[in-house]
Structures are given as structure tokens and as C-alpha cells.
A and B are shown apart, each in its own frame.
Chain A
Amino acid sequence: MNLRRMPFTREIGWLVLAFLYLPVFILVLYSFNGNRTATVWTEFSVKWYARTFHNPSIQVAAWNSIILAITASFGSTVLALLAAMAARHFFKGRSAVEATLNAPLILPEIVIAVATLILVVSVGVELGLMSMIPAHVAFCIPFAYLPIRARIQGMDAGMEEAAMDLYCNRFSTFRRVTLPLLWPGVLAGFTLAFVTSLDLFLVSFFLAGPGSTTLPVYIYSAIKAGISPEINAISTIMLVVSIALVMVSFAFGRMRR
């Protein structure tokens, strides 16, 4: 069946694209609106960006988000790399282990958030960054794991044998051959984990203590007081940061090949 011959295929396609991207476009556009009302355009201005940068609670939230994203993506990438190396060879219960690692992909985020909150409270750890970091790490593992796993499966095991044949012990084989060959996967995993952590709302919302608000949590609480152009500005910044990060890591990945 030729899909192009179906009626309205083109129209449906444009509608889907508009539905996905028009709101984002309008959000970016209105972040440059001089008017306080979110729906009426008056003049071009960057004053909301200036205000955003000078708002101490946004500064704290941004700082928290970045610390969380860096530690979570770093921690989850290291763990995911180790797990992917271990899962290369068959062992009893391998698929169970992989399913467990990837559980955050299918479990409802709200369940994970509530369960982690109960755990943290019952163990007696204080709410805040110290409880959010491990939760973010655990949640980000599958996002780091899947690209690394795909890369490992596509890797020629002969490469590592060649390195060992040329007098590399296990560690230097990993450092000089395995890691460089896995690098594009590691980078992709790191980026995905970073963006996921930056965007993680429910887990942060439940586990945040005083002073450990993240950007999504801040936006959520600010929006209850009405949509302000400031929110448009923060959202635009987050959007740009995410896209820039993905592009940089994509460029790096290509360079290494």
C-alpha cells in the first residue's frame, strides 16, 4: 500500500508537526514579548531574560538542576558502562538484570517518585540534593545504558583480542581500545541521561527539600501564580541548552569516527 496515495496524508502530517512545534515556537516568541500578558504581543524585549538572570530563586533552581544533571549523568553513565560490559557475556539471569536496569522506562514515574520518597523517609535521609542525586542516577541508568549496549553489541570482539595479543593487559585494553571504540555510545548515553535528568519533574518534586528546588519544579510552582513571560524565558533557555548539548555530543561522536 502506498501511503502517499491515501487522502489527506500531507495535511495530517502538517497538522501533527504544527501540534508538536507551534506551541514551542510561540513560547520562544513570547519570551521576547515586552508585554506582561502572555497572550498579547506588543514589542520586542529581552527584559524577561534579564529578570530571570537576576532572580535569586531561579539562580538557585538552575544551579541545583545543573549539579543534579551533571552528577546524575556522570554516575549513571559509569554504572551503565559497567553493566553493559558485564552483560556482554551470557550468564544466568542476564535478561532479568537487564529488565531491572531498564525498569524506569516502563514504570510510571509517579510510582518511582512516591516509592523513593517512602524509602528516603523511612531510612531517615534528609530530603534535598543528597536524596535526589541517587534517585536521578537510578532513573537515568536506562537512558545511558541503551546506547552503550547497542554500541557494545556492534563491536568486533576481535579488537580486544588484538589488543591483548599486542601485550595490553585487561585494563590497558579497556583504556586503549574498548573505551575509544565505545566512545560514541558513551557520549550519546551521557547526553541522554543529562537531558533526562534536567527534565525530571516528579522525582525532584517529591524529594526536593528546602533550597533544593530544580528548574522544572520552580516553573511548576511559578505557573500556579499565572503564566508569566519569565517562565517563557526560562523554558527557552532550557530548550536551547538541551538542543546545544545534543548537537555538541553529536558533533563529538562524528569526530571520533
Chain B
Amino acid sequence: MPSAVDIRNVSKSFGRGAYAVEVLKSVSVEIAHKEFFTLLGPSGCGKTTLLRLIAGFEAAQKGQILIDGVEMSSLPPFQRPVNTVFQSYSLFPHLTVAQNVAFGLEGTGASRSEVKRRVGEALEMVRMGDFECRKPSELSGGQQQRVALARALAPRPKVLLLDEPLSALDLKLRKQMQIELKQLQEEAGITFVFVTHDQEEALTLSDRVAVMHQGRILQLDDPRTIYEHPSHRFVADFIGDINFLEGRVDTRGVIALKCGAVLADSRAGATHGDISVAIRPERAKRVPTGQGNVDGTLIQSVYLGTGLLHQLRLPCGSVFLLREAAAEAAPLPAHGGTVGIELPAAAISVFAS
């Protein structure tokens, strides 16, 4: 069975001649059926352009895009079996909610009663059944968001494209919509291609995440692998909090860090020379002074509810973040006191620098 979306060596530049900017550099990715697939990256990384290429709003200079095995490159947006949820929703202001949702169904050959039934279903799915006769301007941001979702889902596209659909909502509503979006995707059984710059959102929702940077996909993995085993320094830095410790590794895989710690890592031997070691704040462990890989001076301790976040000064001068569960935390020394830091071998990632 062909993939839901198959992107092959797609390149795209904007502008001409000396002013051309290459926003996608030979990107290839296969997205499976019924997958919740996320394109994650900072603004300008090319994620929205890739989405617009799939929708057909832009044309690639090189490469192919196949949807369900069918080559799409020469087809205009209205002949592609995809629908889009736009960042600004783009609901038609002159039409009611029901007319907006019916928009993509009209002209598909569905009878009037069929259209009415499917509009009702789609609005029910996003719990907006009572708002059929309202105009978009009479709805709140969250409600508009739901209508935009219903409008894009009603024609039952093979792939649903979502361009930062939650970015305009406030935090609480965003969290709620994230859960609903995930449920909706599972219920509808449709492939979702989701674009976001919010790493937390990407990790929560996705089956797989493609982290993009400067027109390339740096890492393509499930959220857990992306978070725990980032393949690039950029990915490690972009996703969540992380500590970077500079140092050198020799051919036997022994790492000497500038802050004084010495670690052994069998995988690091291949990249001997200058390296940086990355470790998440919650993966480092606080141990009694002298018993860890390195000692740090306590600068500040913040209570986060779910845990404690300590800021520690390492001997080399850099700041190290360490998080631990509040309930299990051993008594803390006074500010300016020293604690031991253990860097478990399984928790570190090593990048050439």
C-alpha cells in the first residue's frame, strides 16, 4: 500500500537569481496512513512551505509529492484530496457556520440531504451543533477554530493539513484543543500533517515528529526518541530544557569535561576531538557532595509544583539546571552550599562541536 503522503527530494526557493532563498533543500519524507505527523521547527525553517506544497498553494522547483500513490505536482489545490486548517482559520465571513462547513461538500455530487447530514455530523464532532446559523464574526476564537476543523474534515480528505491551528488560542484553551484534536484524529481515522513551532504540542500530539531547521529535516522520530535521543545539537537545544557541557573525547571514548568531570561513553569514541555533552535537567541526579561526577554550588532553587528546579554553578563557571521530584528530594544545603551531580551514562547525548 502506498504511503498517505510521499515527499521525494523536494526543493523550493523563493525569489530569482542572486536574491533566491532556498527554503527547502531536497526534503524527503514518507507519512503513513492514519498517522499524526508533525513538522516542528522555528519560524523560517520551511515547515509551512512544505505544508503549502502538499496543499498545492506553492509549486516545488524539484522533486515529487505523491498522495496515496498519485503524483500531485501538476494538480491545482482544488484537485487534491487534502484539506487545510489555516492558521487564521480563513472562515468565509459572508457565510454562516453551516454554509462554511458545507462549502467543500457542494459540487462533490452529494445530494442536498446528504450535505445537510454530513454538515451536522461534522459540527457534532467538534461540538458546535448549536451554532449552525451563526456568522463567524459572532464566534470566539476557540469556536472559530472548531468550525475551521469541521469545515476541513467534512469532505473527508485523505490527508488533513493543519498550519499552526492552535497558535492563536490562549494556553488553557490550547491544552483542551490539543486533547480534542488527538481524539478527533483517532475517531476520523485521517492522516494529519500538523505544523507547529511549539515543541511541547508536537511531543504531546504526534506519532512521529520531523524537526526542521534551515530547510532540512534534521531528525525524524517518535516524540520519545526525539526528546531522549536527539540526533543533533540543534534538536536537543530546540526541544525542552537541556544542559550542554563542553569537553574533549579521546579514541577510547573517555570524555574529559571542562568542568572537571570525566565520563566514559563507548559511542563517543568515533567522534574524538572537541565535543559537547547534553543532559536533560531531570535526568541528572543530585547526590551527596563528592559522590557524583562533578560538584556544583547552589545558586537558586525554584519550586515548580511538580518538582524542584535547581540552578547550580559548575567549577568552570557555567550554570547547570537540575530538576528533581519535590517529594523525594533530600534536604537542601543553604544557598552557596555544594551538592554532587551525577551524570548517568544512559542519560547523556554526545555531539561533535
**A211 contacts the other chain (Cβ, under 8 Å)?**
no
* Contact in complex: B84, A165 (CB < 8 Å): yes
Minimum CB–CB distance for A114 against chain B, Å:
45
Q: Mark interface residues in A149-171 (1 if CB within 8 Å of B CB, else 0).
A: 00000001011011111111100
**Chain B: which residue is nearest A183 at the CB level?**
B94
Minimum CB–CB distance for B300 against chain A, Å:
46
Which of A158, A164, A177, A181 is close to B88, meaning CB atoms less than 8 Å apart?
A158
Hey, which chain B residues are within 8 Å of A183, CB to CB? 94
Minimum CB–CB distance for A162 against chain B, Å:
4
* Contact in complex: A165, B94 (CB < 8 Å): no
**B306 contacts the other chain (Cβ, under 8 Å)?**
no
Q: Is the interface of B mostly helix, strand, loop or mixed?
A: loop
Minimum CB–CB distance for B130 against chain A, Å:
23
Which of B82, B90, B155 is close to A162, meaning CB atoms less than 8 Å apart?
B90
Alpha-carbon distance between A121 and B107 when the two chains are bound, in angstroms: 52
Hey, which chain A residues are within 8 Å of B108, CB to CB? 167
Number of residues in B with C-beta < 8 Å to the partner?
24
Given A169-B78, A181-B93, A256-B94, are A163 and B103 neighbors across the interface (CB < 8 Å)?
yes
Which residues of chain B from 145 to 192 have a CB within 8 Å of any chain A CB? 151-152, 155
Q: Mark interface residues in B68-108 (1 if CB within 8 Å of A CB, else 0).
A: 00000000111100111010101111100000000110011
**B55 contacts the other chain (Cβ, under 8 Å)?**
yes
**A172 contacts the other chain (Cβ, under 8 Å)?**
yes
Which residues of chain A from 163 to 195 have a CB within 8 Å of any chain B CB? 163-169, 172-173, 176-177, 180-181, 183
* Contact in complex: B90, A161 (CB < 8 Å): yes
* Contact in complex: A165, B107 (CB < 8 Å): no
Given A158-B86, A172-B107, are A164 and B76 neighbors across the interface (CB < 8 Å)?
yes
* Contact in complex: B92, A159 (CB < 8 Å): yes
Alpha-carbon distance between A156 and B86 when the two chains are bound, in angstroms: 12
Q: Mark interface residues in A102-120 (1 if CB within 8 Å of B CB, else 0).
A: 0000000000000000000
* Contact in complex: B76, A169 (CB < 8 Å): yes
Which of B77, B88, B91, B93 is close to A165, meaning CB atoms less than 8 Å apart?
B77
* Contact in complex: A181, B103 (CB < 8 Å): no
* Contact in complex: A166, B90 (CB < 8 Å): no
**B57 contacts the other chain (Cβ, under 8 Å)?**
yes
Alpha-carbon distance between A245 and B259 when the two chains are bound, in angstroms: 82
Alpha-carbon distance between A62 and B347 when the two chains are bound, in angstroms: 90
Hey, which chain B residues are within 8 Å of A158, CB to CB? 86, 88, 90
Alpha-carbon distance between A180 and B107 when the two chains are bound, in angstroms: 18
* Contact in complex: A177, B92 (CB < 8 Å): yes
Alpha-carbon distance between A206 and B107 when the two chains are bound, in angstroms: 52
**Chain B: which residue is nearest A256 at the CB level?**
B94
Which of B78, B91, B151 is close to A164, meaning CB atoms less than 8 Å apart?
B78
Alpha-carbon distance between A98 and B31 when the two chains are bound, in angstroms: 47
Alpha-carbon distance between A163 and B155 when the two chains are bound, in angstroms: 13
Alpha-carbon distance between A18 and B136 when the two chains are bound, in angstroms: 45
* Contact in complex: A161, B94 (CB < 8 Å): no
Hey, which chain A residues are within 8 Å of B93, CB to CB? 181, 257
Hey, which chain A residues are within 8 Å of B155, CB to CB? 166-167
Hey, which chain A residues are within 8 Å of B78, CB to CB? 164-169, 173
Given A158-B86, A158-B88, A158-B90, are A165 and B76 neighbors across the interface (CB < 8 Å)?
no
* Contact in complex: A166, B151 (CB < 8 Å): yes
* Contact in complex: A156, B90 (CB < 8 Å): yes
* Contact in complex: B86, A161 (CB < 8 Å): yes
**Chain A: which residue is nearest B102 at the CB level?**
A166
**Chain B: which residue is nearest A180 at the CB level?**
B94
Q: Which of B90, B107, B152 has the most A CB atoms < 10 Å from its CB? A: B90
Hey, which chain A residues are within 8 Å of B104, CB to CB? 165-167
Hey, which chain A residues are within 8 Å of B88, CB to CB? 156, 158
* Contact in complex: A181, B94 (CB < 8 Å): yes
* Contact in complex: B103, A166 (CB < 8 Å): yes
Hey, which chain B residues are within 8 Å of A177, CB to CB? 92
Hey, which chain B residues are within 8 Å of A165, CB to CB? 55, 57, 77-78, 82-84, 104, 152
Minimum CB–CB distance for B200 against chain A, Å:
26
Minimum CB–CB distance for B319 against chain A, Å:
43
Minimum CB–CB distance for A156 against chain B, Å:
7
Hey, which chain A residues are within 8 Å of B77, CB to CB? 161, 164-165
**Chain B: which residue is nearest A161 at the CB level?**
B57
Which residues of chain A from 120 to 161 have a CB within 8 Å of any chain B CB? 156, 158-159, 161
Minimum CB–CB distance for B18 against chain A, Å:
19
Top 9 closest A-B pairs, CB basis? Answer: A166-B104, A162-B90, A158-B90, A164-B77, A180-B94, A167-B78, A165-B84, A166-B103, A164-B78
Given contacts A162-B90, A164-B57, A166-B78, 5 further A-B contacts (CB under 8 A): A158-B86, A161-B90, A165-B55, A176-B103, A181-B92
Instruction: Name 12 A/B residue pairs within 8 A (Cβ), A-sorted.
Output: A156-B88, A159-B90, A162-B86, A165-B83, A165-B104, A166-B103, A166-B104, A169-B76, A176-B103, A177-B92, A183-B94, A257-B94
